[in-house]
Structure 1
């Protein structure tokens, strides 16, 4: 699952960009009342936060701390059916804000809301206009094309193929525009946002590194700037034949586990999360391979990008995953994930006994074949 689809995927706040200060978000959406609920997820100094509020007479309020530029996902459950439904199928918006008192107003929904009181949001709006819109707007366009299709078109695979081609063209044009924006705005917060998001995976080091190095020192030293710097470094140094970066992280019992202490012939460093469908779908196959080769010297170290321990442990138990598990519960800010330049999960690195990388991103039959070759059965 790509990071771009998640809250932290678009951007992280700039730690050190400014001292923390209070923000207030006041919403007034129509005349909604109980059981309507509002939910917010936001980043504060590199740490994910979440909150909820009851909607009364269309009004709700959130307060917290911002470093000057913060990013949030705000979802509104009109019928009180819960956060998950509101976030993935309901009324949801994504936006930047600062140490400000922001008002969000609409007669019917967040999707049609107007913002006032936020200079950061105004900068965000101007930035999106320059690059061709937000990801959400592009998704809305694609969904609109599908919804407007005739019954005949709904049965036509070529029709959906054309939508997909056009969607990908628009996404690429947006990413290209982001790189240009970063080149033209090396002192701008949204210049770093543009470069981070437009860089994509894998990182084109020759193209991206010079633009990154031309950004202001304060931006490069920010949390988001450091994260992009780590991705560039990982693209340079983490590859087949290279030594895997060493790390230490706590297991589910809070005990530190060091990669260098694992004495196995082969170690699979697996990045996953409880919320990642493709990761969970691969678990049955990996479980079979682990049972087959564990006694012959095969080990798995699973690094979770979860930020809730209960969900992490629940997924381990439900999928019956017997290997080693670690996490710092920082979500996409997981220190090992950043060290390895992870921008999408599942992702993995197969190491030999000397901790050299011998393969990357093996799943399903590719993984099975590789393990069979290594162990000779």
Structure 2
């Protein structure tokens, strides 16, 4: 589905798989022209199948030995492609229409289940489109500093999101053995306690899906957990963002600050630096600000600094956000939105995200929030000797 946003924050898993023949997909889309490459891709493992469009038709066969999971389909080059996100499992699916947005999907029972949920999420029509429009209006209001309208749009979006969540809860209660229920829980449930308690009510088939097992048993069969965003500035299929690992050397970057001064990661050599990837229009990012400011006030020293890397595209909105929330740390941005080079280098495809880098330039931790963040910084700065001034290159 074009310009569809999907934020996946999932763990990986292992289990005894049941025998499967695989997912067999045949499609015919009028907007898919001869010679286009069609790719089916599993973003966590790199499993891929491809075909060349002929007479608007394409096909895939994907083995499914680990159970149902989320896959991406892209037809054509990343810039002008037809793309969509699917839940797939063992069985056949037929796709026919102009593009993925208006296509008719038939096949195995899970196809109809997936379509019922996907129709609720479709940003081209109905509730999904209204949420997409509210998001765009919210961003625009924040960019020009109209906080009253931004708050109104945010309240409307929150109400719609809660309505959708109630729909999901009811749907799962009626489809406890559907793999699609596992998709909803692992992708769209934000509260871990609610997610875990609901997974405990699922049937064997749903629990044994690859997507649920990845969540229940981290690190067993697939690569490391991945945050994935599809849409403007998101990941191109079949490539995925770099999955930065703890212990890896942090990628170098140079980005202008609010005054146009170029700030480099090398400027922080010899100290701990906390990279906060955010944007002024990102409500979850703004929600983290009080905790970050409290932590910064407690631990700021020659040994520790925060560097806010914004994915804003409008200078006015970025500067307004810094001023409104009184961000005391160093703030930088290339004002390229999701095309921010540092975001790509660090595998940032959904925000907020953060990375803690040590004095040796290696990644110490990722995505620390709340008590975990305060505890980790406290442990580190309590155990490490403060670097001397001569070993620190000031970035201010």
For the superposition of Structure 1 and Structure 2, which TM-score range results when normalised by the shorter chain?
0.3 to 0.5
By relative contact order (CA 8 Å, sep 6+), the higher-ranking structure is: 2
